[in-house]
Amino acid sequence: MRNRIFKFPAKAKTTVYLLTATGFAYQAVDSNFLSHSSDSLPISSHFPEKIRTGIDGVVRSFRAISTITFTVVDYKYSLHGLPVDSDEYRRKLSETHLRSAKRILKLCEANKGFYAKAGQFVAALRQAPKEYTSTLSSLQDQAVPCHFKAIKEVLVSNFGRDLSEIFLSFDEQPIAAASIAQVHHAVLKCHQEVAIKVQYPGLEQQMNVDTKTMSVLSKSIAWIFPEYRFEWLASEFAGATALELDFIQEARNSERTAKNLRDNKVIRVPHVFWELTTSQVLTMQFCGGHKVDDVDFMNQMGINPIKVVKALIEVFAEMIFVHGFVHGDPHPGNILISPEGQNGFSLVLLDHGIYKQLDEGFRQDYCQLWKALILLDSNKILHLGERFGVGKHARYFPLIFTGRTIDSKSALGGGMSEEEKRNIKQELKSLKMNDISMFMESLPPDFLMILRIDGLLRSVIRKLGVPQQVRMLAYAKYAVYGLSPKLDLESDFAVKVVFSRLLMNMNYLKLRLIIGVFEAILALQKFKDILCTLYIKINGTFWGIMLDPTGKGLNIT
């Protein structure tokens, strides 16, 4: 059955025309007036700072409105009249996804700052189409550093002293640059090596303009095309970004995490130098290392990637399931691997700007969800889906987190059978954009953050070539720990602490034993199938030779 003839909702026509006209007007203005002056500098750079910020905000907003308008119209006209269950529709949809992702990448590269961060945010969402995640992932390493003159002004303004009074040396070339700040290496007068994170000037005003523009655009799209609703994404991004602008809070997050993970001998959290830390400048201990997904470095140093992944996942599993205080941006640039440590390596956890304090009720439910996912307890999963507010769509939780269907017979981490793949593909065809929007809108904010974190961790695991089963078993282990009573190691009796830990380990071993039995049964079934196939072939060969000793007419399959 074909879609009804494409037609804009009556209430939306005027808005679309205005937005499209604005887009075309912006293209002309941007290319001929606002972008470049005779000396190749932006015209806005010749005005005082407040006026410059205002002009830049208008230009950035027009650029965003133009891009999003063209993108929405592209989707509507490209898919016009095509049956949603047809191969042609899926082909056109993929082409439009890719075209739109490239268009948005260009927007993020032009607007930089928070737009680049928004692109990174989308790239980390596993729920986004692969055309978007693969295209926008290039933004992770594209931040252009700010000129040191502007950075020095921020430092002197915040420290109240010249840099020569504080540092023996200060490297003007940044060792890292991101969308909101860059990091410099320096040596204090006491010969202590430090890393200094400096916020770009004028960011707060820029953030207000950019996040409001994103919010207005997402609301406008939802109003014009109700099936395309992204307000949840704009809201979640704005909330996460606002947290990053206060470096005092980031320093507090860092110290709290160091305290929570103090018993973990693999993880290192750099020490904060409070006397040189403000809301715009964060000074911390310098810790060297390579990105956690640097396979060549691990091979060179003889470090086992499986051990690295296990350590990494256990750190984040402890944050999520036990403490409920979670680092929200674990991309490879924020986690370094160093060859120093008791186990032949250590992990350095950086960038503590985005954290999520999980609601205690949510934390407990999420622990229960992972127990149910590991055991594939469909009734429990659906019950928890009601608590999470997604209703019947909870049946897709196993698919999202473990790669199995809710009624799967495959082993944990073993993927789906061909029959299961065909069935789920057919089932997913019936889902509409409105269903996906409703699912994402219904999820608690805590769940959205967890999805992003899990997506980033899974990409690291894939890069290192480690089976996803390592991640799932670590989650199962810490889900059991998270459901156990919390103890104060300093005030509770030693016997009580030992008994509680013994109980936790017994519960985990019980869960692991059940998983092992399931996997053993499946392995025996596969072994039985292999033996049957081998028997049939041998038997066929034997009777073939008996019936035709010459072998001329023999055709053994």
Catalytic residue list: 329
C-alpha 443/C-alpha 308 separation (Å) is: 31
Residue 268, classified by CB atoms within 10 Å of its CB into exposed (0-12), middle (13-18) or buried (19+), is: buried
Cα separation of 287 and 270, whole Å?
Answer: 7
Q: How far apart are CA 206 and CA 536, in angstroms?
A: 72
- Phi-psi category of residue 471: left, alpha or beta, with phi > 0 → left and psi -120 to 50 → alpha: alpha
Query: How crowded is residue 111: how many other Cβ atoms within 10 Å of its Cβ?
Result: 22
Closest CA to 289 of 247, 339, 221, 328: 339
Question: Are 158 and 205 within 8 A, CB to CB?
Answer: no
The first and second tokens of residue 550, run together, are 């010459």
Q: What is the DSSP letter of 427?
A: H
**Rg (alpha carbons) of the chain, rounded to whole number:** 28
Q: Could you tell me which of 214, 233, 228, 213 has the C-alpha nearest to residue 8?
A: 228
Tokens encoding 479: 């889900």
**Structure-derived torsion over alpha carbons of residues 518, 519, 521, 523, reported in degrees to the nearest 10:** 170
Cα separation, 464 vs 443, in Å, equals 30
Would you give the DSSP letter of residue 168?
Answer: E
CB 170 within 8 A of CB 184: yes
Q: Pick from 217, 183, 182, 184: which is nearest to 203 by CA?
A: 182
Closest C-alpha among 50, 71, 72, 53 to residue 61? 53
Terminal Cα-to-Cα distance of the chain (whole angstroms): 43
Are the C-beta atoms of 554 and 546 separated by less than 8 Å?
no
* Strand residues in 33-175 grouped as ranges (E): 167-170
User: Residues 136, 102: contact at Cβ < 8 Å?
Assistant: no
Q: Extract the tokens encoding 459.
A: 């990409």
Give the separation between CA 187 and CA 506, rounded to whole angstroms. 49
CB 453 within 8 A of CB 320: yes
Distance, in Å, from the CA atom of 188 to the CA atom of 219, rounded to the nearest integer, reads: 49
CA distances to 41, 71, 151, 203 from 48, rounded to whole Å, are 15, 34, 18, 16
